[in-house]
Structure 1
Amino acid sequence: MTTLGTARAGPGEIDTGRLEVGETRDGSPFGLPVAVINGAQSGKTLYMQAASDGDELNGVGVIQRVVPRLDPAELSGEILIVGIVNYHAFQVAEHRNPIDDTKMNRTYPGNETGTSSERIAAATFDAATRADLVLDLHQGSTSRMVDEVRVRCGKRHRLYDECLELAKTFGCGYVLDQKGPDGQLARAAPNEGVPTVDPELGGCVGWDEESIRAGVEGVFNVLNYYGFLEGTVDRSRQTRANGFEQYGAPSGGLVTMKADLGEQVSAGQTIFEVTTPFGEPKATVTADSRGVLWRIRRLPQVATGEYVCSVGTDVDSY
């Protein structure tokens, strides 16, 4: 019998339930939505979670589409899922947990007697470290972004090769290979011996069907490659960036992008311009280095110094 919270599934069964992690402000208990898919045959364990940031919903869309397609009778191994991690932020469509004003994906491995975010992180970290592989589904908040997978453990980590292999298998086409901040699940779980990656599935307000489809395909690539399902995976070459250069607006006004998302840019190439509301030129910004236009703010209006876009740098393929 495999359990996660109140979800219980024997071999060949699937069940959903709640993982209780605290109480709301009126004293009512609350729990995260969870699912257990227990394959008819033995095998590895995969852990997946979504909405660690409460407004990053594409991962929720992936899980919503993946679970109905899974038949435990055809599955080897187990899949543990937390469908919505940042419960409080999800309820109000915000990025950070409003109870403690914390970004959830900076609190791992968590603390079971700590703040709201630390308690949720501790409960989900406990589930994640039961697994052999972890997919922490994100998106680029509300900015426009390429579909990518982030390898966050760092190149000197003992599980670096395994994490990079998992990222390539997911197969979004783009990989950011850069050590992440402390407190990320994709940093903390490898320290416990579990290869973990952070698929960043585009960026939108609400969710984006194209990025969700890429995420669904990525999950099934992982299930097939690691033996959960019987199938083959065509692992094509990925465009890999090893760093970011971020660009802000040198003056306030309206931004016009001069390069497209995913476009290769060269040093000195114009990537955006800033004008007045009447189209009068105020500033032209060029790329400092060769790279790929990775992420773009969604709204055109900017104040001086406000974020506009990011270029993935030190680019290769593998």
Structure 2
Amino acid sequence: MVTLGTASAAPGEIDTGRLEVGESRDGSPVGLPVAVVNGSQDGKTLYMQAASDGDELNGVGVIQRVVPQLDPSELSGVILICGIVNYHAFQIAEHRNPIDDTKMNRAYPGDASGTSSERIAAATHDAAVSADLVVDLHQGSTSQMIEEVRVRCGSRHRLHEECLELAKVFDCGYILDQKGPDGQLARAAPDEGVPTIDPELGGCVGWDEESIRAGVDGVFNVLRYYDFLPGGYTPSPQARATGFEQYGSPVGGLVNFHPNLGDRVSRGDTLFEVTDVFGERKAEIAADSAGVFWRSRRLPQVATGEYVCSIGTNIDTY
């Protein structure tokens, strides 16, 4: 019998339940939706979670589509799932937990006696480090972004190669291999010996079916490669960036991008220009380095100094 919160499944069974993480302001319990898929054969344990940031819904779409396709009689090992991590932010479609104004993916490994976000982080961290592999589903918030997978433990970490292998197996075509900020699950779980990746499934308002399909494919790639499911999987060569440059606007106005997402750019290529409302050009911004046009803002209007786009740099093929 395998248990996560109130979900409990014997070999060959699936069960869903709630993982209690505190109480709401009326004193009623707050429970995250969780599932246990217990295979009929022994094997590894995979932990998956989504909506660590409350407006990043593509991961929820992935889980919504993956779970109905899982047959525990065909599965070896166990899959533990938390479908919505940032419960309070999800309810109001915001990025940060409104109870304590915290970005959840900066709160790991959490504190079981701490703030709302710290308690949620502690509970989900405990589930994550009980597994052999972790997939923490994200997206580029509401910006526009390519589908990619992030390895956040840093190149000198003892689990770097295992995390990089897991990222390649997820197989979105692009990998960002760069040490992440403190408090990310993809930083904290490898410190406990569990390879972890952070797939960033595009970026949109609501959810995007193409990005969700990429995530569903990625999950099943992982399940086959690590022998949860029969058939095996061989990942394709992918573009890996070990640098990430962000560009802001030196002026206010309206942005026009020159490259499309995923395009290769050379040093000196124009990334975007800013015009006034009458179309008169006010600024033209060029790339400082060669790389891949990785992410861009969704709305055209910008203020001075506001974020506009990002370039993945130091590209190789992995």
- Judge conservation of contact 2:109–2:183 (CA < 8 Å) in 1: yes
* Alignment of structure 1 residues 155-170 onto 2, 5 Å: 155-170=155-170
Aligned-pair identity (%): 79
Alignment of 1:36-47 (within 5 A): 36-47=36-47
Partner of 1:89: 89
Cα distance in 2 between the residues matched to 1:258 and 1:235: 31
User: Cα distance, 1:251 vs. partner?
Assistant: 0.6
Q: Whole-Å Cα distance in 2 between the matches of residues 210 and 275 of structure 1?
A: 32
Contact 2:225-2:234 at 8 Å conserved across structures: no
- Taking the TM superposition and a 5 Å limit, the aligned residue runs for 1:71-86 are 71-86=71-86
- Alignment partner of 2:271: what SS? strand
Q: Alpha-carbon deviation of 1:80? A: 0.2
* Residue 60 (structure 1) shift: 0.2
Unpaired runs of 5+ residues, structure 2, are none
* Offset of residue 11 of structure 1: 0.3
Q: Which amino acid aligns with 2:62?
A: V
> In the alignment, residue 279 of structure 1 is paired with which amino acid?
G
> 1 CA distance for matches of 2:231 and 2:99?
44
**Residue 222 of structure 2 is aligned to residue 222 of structure 1:** yes
One-letter amino acid of the counterpart of residue 191, structure 2: N
Q: Which residue of 2 aligns with 1:49?
A: 49
Q: Which residue of 1 aligns with 2:67?
A: 67
Which residue does the alignment assign to 1:111? 111
Q: Given the two structures, how large is their TM-score scaled by the length of structure 1?
A: 1.00
Counterparts of 1:175 and 1:95, CA distance in 2: 23
Deviates more, 1:124-133 or 1:226-235: 226-235
TM-score, length basis structure 2: 1.00
Name the counterpart of 1:253. Answer: 253
Kindly provide the amino acid, as one letter, of the partner of residue 306 in structure 1: E
How many aligned positions are there? 318
Contact 2:50 2:83 in 1 (8 A): yes
CA distance in 1, matches of 2:101, 2:177: 28
**Over residues 80-133 of structure 1, what are the superposed CA-to-partner deviations in whole Å (9 max), with x where a residue is unaligned?**
000000000000000000000000000100000000000000000000011000
- Secondary structure of the equivalent of 1:172? coil
Report how far residue 233 of structure 1 moved. 1.5
SS, match of residue 229 in structure 2:
coil
Verify: 1:132 aligned to 2:119, yes or no.
no
- The CA deviation at 1:234 is 3.0
Task: Name 2:2's counterpart in structure 1.
Answer: 2
> What is the deviation of 1:30?
1.2
| Separation (CA, whole Å) in 1 of partners of 2:272 and 2:225 | 41
Partners of 2:268 and 2:289 within 8 A in 1? yes
Q: Which amino acid aligns with 2:247?
A: Y
The alpha carbon displacement at 1:299 in A equals 0.1
Q: Quick one: distance in 2 between partners of 1:245 and 1:109?
A: 28
Q: Which residue of 1 aligns with 2:21?
A: 21
Using the TM superposition, give the Cα deviation of residue 250 of structure 1 relative to its aligned residue in structure 2, in angstroms. Answer: 1.1
Structure 2 Cα separation of the partners of residues 216 and 51 of structure 1: 15
How far is 1:155 from its partner? 0.6
Q: Give the Cα–Cα distance (whole angstroms) in 1 for the partners of residues 21 and 248 of structure 2.
A: 39
Q: CA deviation at 1:153?
A: 0.4
Q: Which ranges of structure 1 fall in alignment gaps of 5 or more residues?
A: none
Distance 2:252 2:184 in 1: 33
Cα displacement (A) at 1:177: 0.2
Match of 2:310 in 1: 310
Distance (Å, rounded) in 2 between the aligned partners of 1:14 and 1:218: 21
Task: State the Cα RMSD in Å.
Answer: 0.5
Distance 1:274 1:111 in 2: 45
One-letter amino acid of the counterpart of residue 265, structure 2: V
